[in-house]
Amino acid sequence: MKHLIDPTDITVEETDEIIHLALDIIANPKKYAEHCKGKKLATLFYEPSTRTRLSFTAAMMELGGNVLGFSEAASSSTAKGESVQDTAKTVSCFADLIAMRHFIEGAPFAASKVSGVPIINAGDGSHSHPTQTLTDLLTITRELGRLDNFTIGFCGDLKFGRTVHSLIKSLSTRSNVKVVLIAPQELRLPGYIRHDVCERLGVEYKEVSTMEEVMPELDVLYMTRVQKERFLDEDEFDRVKDSFVLDRKKMALAKRDMAVLHPLPRVNEILTEVDSDPRAAYFRQVENGKFVRMALICKLLDWKNDPEHDTPIHYEAFEDKTRCCSNAKCISNLEKVPLLFRHTENGPDRCIYCDNKPRE
């Protein structure tokens, strides 16, 4: 069985299969109208969402399937103290597939360890968001016509922005993708992505402090919202919230065919005056999210009984009861799950659930 918890759970070939299927769905929607007849998708959302949850729902409806679930934890047995793993085990008796969004990092991974059906991570804390990555890859394919040989600038909250973490991980498997990081000092990309992903896998990247200095070289500009809900200190949020704002003046510095992506929702970081620019791809990106989720649902159901497509054991986990994860928002500090870590090459060990270092 294949789960999608992290973008690296699917190979480049599997990722391309999903993107090609999404393109075929766009071209021939009628062909897929009954593809999931009799199948059920459960959407378990413990955190707010508009696009992700509703695009999963629309995707399953357009495939002729059904959807059940909840959109806030308060209306589920979580409010009575049920664990993520017990909820996942329960719901896997009712549905063929589960999409889970959680504010606890590593919750979908823990769910995948006990679920009888595939788990899709629809966003876990500031950690990972692999279905947004598929959306972004389909959008780049449609806007640029390729998934290699381009320069992408990530701008805004690179520390807490889970969409950024997952997309960089996925792009590290493509050839000649250059990454430019545009963020205030307080919101720099986490060390595990800079070291374990960019440096170890040889992704060419640089960090800059203004948008203006790099606009002319970008093929894709990936804007992000400063993730207010992840800050422990409100003053710090106020200091950085309006660090980078995309307006017409900055767009004038960019290539004529650059594509502007944003996972949305936006707050202040893209002025609405940019929306009418043909390079503003973020609302096209929203629609791509539905098509790519249709493709993902079809593929995960196809792959369910095919051992060739099992979730890979891409790192050797080991249990260590003497240490715990340094991240207070990690499931291993909040619920009873085994304390699992992995070794890294020339670096510290990492928590299996959320990629943070152990507290020594």
Supply the minimum distance, in Å, between the C-beta of residue 305 and ligand NCD.
30
Among 71, 163, 166, 243, binds ligand NCD (CB under 6 A): 163
Supply the minimum distance, in Å, between the C-beta of residue 263 and ligand NCD.
4
Among residues 139, 154, 160, which one has the least CA distance to residue 198? 154
Among 107, 177, 264, 354, binds ligand NCD (CB under 6 A): 264
Q: From CA 112, how far away is CA 353, in angstroms rounded?
A: 11
Supply the minimum distance, in Å, between the C-beta of residue 126 and ligand NCD.
8
Q: From CA 208, how far away is CA 183, in angstroms rounded?
A: 7
Q: From CA 329, how far away is CA 104, in angstroms rounded?
A: 6
Q: From CA 97, how far away is CA 88, in angstroms rounded?
A: 10
Q: What tokens were used for 23?
A: 């393109």
Among 85, 132, 139, 151, binds ligand NCD (CB under 6 A): 132
Contact between 316 and 342 (Cβ < 8 Å): yes
Which is closer to ligand NCD, CB of 45 or CB of 303? 45
Q: Does 159 bind ligand NCD (CB under 6 A)?
A: no
Q: Does 7 bind ligand NCD (CB under 6 A)?
A: no
Residue 230 makes CB contacts below 8 A (sequence gap 6+) with 125, 126, 160
Q: From CA 156, how far away is CA 142, in angstroms rounded?
A: 24
Which is closer to ligand NCD, CB of 65 or CB of 263? 263
Q: Does 52 bind ligand NCD (CB under 6 A)?
A: yes
Which is closer to ligand NCD, CB of 165 or CB of 309? 165
Which is closer to ligand NCD, CB of 8 or CB of 163? 163
Q: Does 125 bind ligand NCD (CB under 6 A)?
A: no
Which is closer to ligand NCD, CB of 106 or CB of 123? 123
What is the strand order of the sheet 205-208 is part of?
205-208, 177-182, 150-155, 220-223, 259-261
**Positions in the binding site for ligand NCD (CB under 6 A):** 51-52, 123, 129, 132, 162-163, 225, 227, 263-264
